Structure formats: C-alpha cells, structure tokens
C-alpha cells in the first residue's frame, strides 16, 4: 500500500499540470510502473486532447518502441488518479484502451461521478481480466477535482470567493474610490488564480469604480471569461472589462444581445434567486469554476445564498480606522499562509 500511495502521489503531481487547460474535463495524472520503475507517465491534455492514460502509454511507447512497450504493459501496473472513462466523448474510452494493451493491474484514486462513467470504467477493466484496485489516496484525489465534481453533482460551477481586508476588517474606502490593500506578491497570486479558473465575476459598482481588466497580465496563463452583474447596463462600452482580451458576459435585467466584445444575458425576475440563476446559466455554458472578486454586495449575495465552496481572504497589516466593512464567514479558516506581509486565509465550506 505504501508503494501504491507513492505512485498515486505522483499521479496527483502530474494532474495539476493540467490546471486551467482541461476544463470542463477533470485534471488527471497517470503513471505506468514496471518492476518498481516508472516507464511512462502523463496528464490530461488541453480539452479535446488525449487523456492522462493515453499520454502515459504514448510516452512508454516513445521510450521503448511499440513492440517492447507492449511486452512491458503485460507486467505493469497503471496508476491513475480518476477512474478511466468508459464512453466515447472527444476521445475513445480509456478503459477499453487499457484492456486492449493488456495491463496486469490498474490502481485508481477515486470513482468518476459522471453518469456515463461512474463505476463503468472499473467494470470494464475487471471484465477485461485486469486486477483493479480503487480508493488509494481517495480523499486527496477527490479534493483535487472538487471543481469537476461540483459541476457534475450540483449542476453549477465551483465558486471561489476572493477579497482583501485590512487588519481592522475594512474592505474598501467609504467614498467610491480605489485603494489597494494587498502587496504586489498577493496581487500577482490573484492573477495566477485567474489563469487556473474558467471565469471571474464582479458587480457593476466594482467594474465602474475600479475599472478592472480581470486578466492575467501579472502571470503567464490564459485569461478567464469575465462575468459582470449589471442590472441596468450602467457600465460604459469602453470599460476595461470589454476590451476583447477574453469573453465578457453581462447578466442584466434589460436585454439579451450578442456583441463582438460582450454577451448580454437578460435574466427574468432579476432580483429573484439571482446567484442561483447566474450559476445555472454558467453551468449551461460549460463554466466549471468561478472566482467572485467583488464588490462587497456581490460577495454577500453568494454568501447569503450559501452558494460558495471556497473563500480566499487576504488580510493586510494596514489599519484604516474607517471604511466599508468586509464580508464575514462564520467559521475558522482551514489554513493560513503568509504572502509577504499579507496573511492569506483559506476557507472551505465543505471538504
């Protein structure tokens, strides 16, 4: 079991290399071991490309040649962090491929709850004569793909709340003006987070006052979709959020219209179940994860609805003495990390 855990940890390390590119697929890592030696490994390619198991097999073939690799597979264990797929999607079923290659053993981190897989991959492997074990580092594997599992089981994106507050718990100045709270390292970290998620959301007031671009300009990575709640379409057309860098989606009460630099989506009964309706629309658009960055009213909207999964709160050493109070989470942080002279508090609604 100790050896199985060792190789499964390697699968997890590989899987995160796909963060920000595989959605709406899960992040998966795979390792092929022959006589205590890794002969191939891989992780899921960007969406539409080969899965982790295929990439691991292809690496082994590239290293040893197809004939020799085929012989090695018969005596090898394949480790994979998520149940191999059992259906035709963008690619053929990985479970069928593993049976065809004649692997001796497959060790799986956790089941895939997607209806077309969910135990069917394991069944195909076992019916194909492969010794199959399930549940090695299961909790770690479940946590890794919490975004994917939330979308599949709850029919909504995984929601991350993010804000910064002073040490005396103020979120913004009393006047409608921008004032930085966090240090440069924290701001760069936020840009890294944006590159890892599908979309980022703000309210109209934040878009008007701060005029944020909501890009990853301080980090190398893809730009997320930019989502804004603008009930009465108050945001100017030349706002940074509409610069065309990435898709912009505006939830509003007035009109639906597809424009070159923004998509307007009208919500009927706008103020009724607003957070729920936004998340469901994003789910239908294959958005798997969402960072809600503000302002305070928008963050509170998701907190009050109980529609959040994770919160990342920066606390700076600054004291303002007055300002707009920051949102509140009625639980202790799961983890605290220093980011320069800022303190990052991580909360998980359910783990």
State residue 86's pLDDT score: 87
210 is in an annotated binding site: yes
State residue 108's pLDDT score: 98
284 is in an annotated binding site: no
For 65, 190, 222, the CA distances from 195, given in Å and listed in that order, are: 36, 9, 5
Percent of the chain with pLDDT over 70: 97
Average per-residue pLDDT for the chain = 94
| Residue 325 φ/ψ, nearest 5 degrees | -65, 140
Alpha carbons 65 and 197: distance in angstroms, whole number: 37
Contact 164, 320 (CB under 8 A): no
Alpha carbons 157 and 281: distance in angstroms, whole number: 10
The better pLDDT of the pair 309, 90 is held by 309
State residue 183's pLDDT score: 95
Confidence of residue 117 (pLDDT cuts 50, 70, 90): confident
Q: For residue 229, is pLDDT > 60?
A: yes
**Quick one: how far is CA 181 from the chain centroid?**
26
In this prediction, residues 159-167 reach a mean pLDDT of: 97
Q: For residue 34, is pLDDT > 60?
A: yes
**How long is the chain?**
351
**Element counts in the chain: helices (H) and strands (E):** 11, 17
78 is in an annotated binding site: no
Provide the pairing of β-strand 289-294 with 199-203: parallel
H/E stretch holding 174: none
219 is in an annotated binding site: no
User: How deeply is 176 buried, as exposed, middle or buried, from its count of CB atoms within 10 A (0-12, 13-18, 19+)?
Assistant: exposed
Confidence of residue 165 (pLDDT cuts 50, 70, 90): very high
State residue 351's pLDDT score: 53
Token reading at 127: 């019916």
pLDDT in tens, 50-95: 999 999 999 999 999 999 999 999 999 999 999 999 876 667 899 9
What domains lie within the chain, and their CATH numbers? 1-150 (3.40.140.10), 157-348 (3.40.430.10)
206 is in an annotated binding site: yes
Alpha carbons 232 and 341: distance in angstroms, whole number: 39
CA gyration radius for the chain? 23
Nearest to 103, CA basis, from 12, 39, 47:
39
In this prediction, residues 287-302 reach a mean pLDDT of: 95
State residue 88's pLDDT score: 67
Strands (E), the chain: 29-34, 37-43, 77-80, 105-108, 131-134, 158-165, 170-172, 199-203, 225-229, 248-252, 257-258, 263-266, 289-294, 310-315, 324-325, 335-339, 342-348
The number of C-alpha atoms within 13 Å of 88 and in the hemisphere containing its C-beta is 0
Q: Omega into 295 within 30° of 0, i.e. cis? A: yes
Contact 43, 20 (CB under 8 A): no
Contacts by residues 259-265 (CB-CB < 8 Å, ≥ 24 positions apart): 261/237, 264/233
193 is in an annotated binding site: no
Token reading at 43: 């992780």
Active site residue 53: yes
In this prediction, residues 150-172 reach a mean pLDDT of: 95
Active-site residue, from 53, 59, 83, 315: 53
Confidence of residue 292 (pLDDT cuts 50, 70, 90): very high
State residue 174's pLDDT score: 82
In this prediction, residues 219-233 reach a mean pLDDT of: 96
Alpha carbons 166 and 110: distance in angstroms, whole number: 40
257 is in an annotated binding site: no
Which of 32-41, 305-314, 324-333 bottoms out in mean pLDDT, i.e. has the lowest? 324-333
51 is in an annotated binding site: yes
Q: For residue 203, is pLDDT > 90?
A: yes
State residue 252's pLDDT score: 98
Alpha carbons 74 and 128: distance in angstroms, whole number: 13
Q: For residue 218, is pLDDT > 60?
A: yes
In this prediction, residues 201-214 reach a mean pLDDT of: 96
In this prediction, residues 91-113 reach a mean pLDDT of: 93
105 beta partners:
77, 131
Query: pTM of the prediction?
Result: 0.93
Name, in order, each residue with C-beta under 8 angstroms of 38's C-beta and a sequence gap of 6 or more: 7, 10, 31, 32
94 is in an annotated binding site: yes
Contact 160, 289 (CB under 8 A): yes
In this prediction, residues 317-337 reach a mean pLDDT of: 93
Alpha carbons 129 and 126: distance in angstroms, whole number: 5
């Amino acid at each position: 079991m100790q050896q199985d855990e060792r190789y499964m940890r390697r699968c997890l390390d590989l899987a995160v290399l796909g963060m920000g590119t595989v959605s709406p697929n899960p992040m998966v890592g795979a390792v092929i071991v022959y006589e205590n030696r890794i002969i191939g490994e891989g992780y899921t390619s960007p969406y539409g490309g080969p899965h982790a198991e295929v990439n691991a097999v292809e690496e082994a073939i590239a290293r040893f040649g197809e004939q020799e690799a085929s012989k090695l597979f018969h005596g090898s264990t394949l480790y994979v962090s998520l149940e191999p797929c059992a259906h035709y999607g963008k690619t053929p079923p990985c479970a069928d491929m593993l049976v065809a290659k004649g692997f001796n053993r497959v060790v799986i981190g956790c089941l895939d709850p997607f209806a077309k897989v969910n135990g069917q991959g394991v069944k195909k492997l076992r019916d194909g004569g492969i010794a199959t074990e399930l549940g090695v580092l299961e909790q770690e594997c479940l946590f890794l793909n919490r975004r994917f599992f939330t979308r599949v089981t709850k029919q909504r994106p995984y929601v991350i709340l993010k804000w910064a507050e002073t040490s005396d718990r103020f979120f913004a100045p009393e006047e409608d003006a921008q004032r930085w709270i966090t240090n440069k390292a924290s701001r760069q970290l936020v840009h890294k987070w944006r590159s890892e998620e599908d979309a980022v959301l703000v309210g109209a007031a934040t878009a008007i006052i701060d005029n944020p671009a909501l890009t990853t300009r301080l980090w190398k990575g893809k730009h997320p979709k930019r989502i804004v709640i603008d009930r009465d379409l108050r945001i100017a057309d030349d706002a940074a959020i509409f610069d065309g860098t990435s898709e912009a989606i505006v939830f509003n009460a007035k009109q639906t219209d597809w424009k070159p630099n923004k998509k307007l989506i009208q919500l009927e009964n706008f103020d009724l179940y607003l957070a729920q309706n936004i998340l469901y629309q994003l789910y239908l658009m294959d958005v798997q994860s969402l960072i809600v960055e503000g302002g305070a009213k928008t963050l509170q909207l998701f907190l009050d609805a109980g529609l959040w999964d994770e919160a990342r709160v920066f606390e700076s050493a600054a004291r303002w003495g007055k300002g707009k109070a920051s949102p509140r989470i009625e639980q202790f942080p799961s983890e605290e990390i220093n980011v320069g002279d800022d303190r990052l508090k991580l909360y998980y609604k359910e783990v």
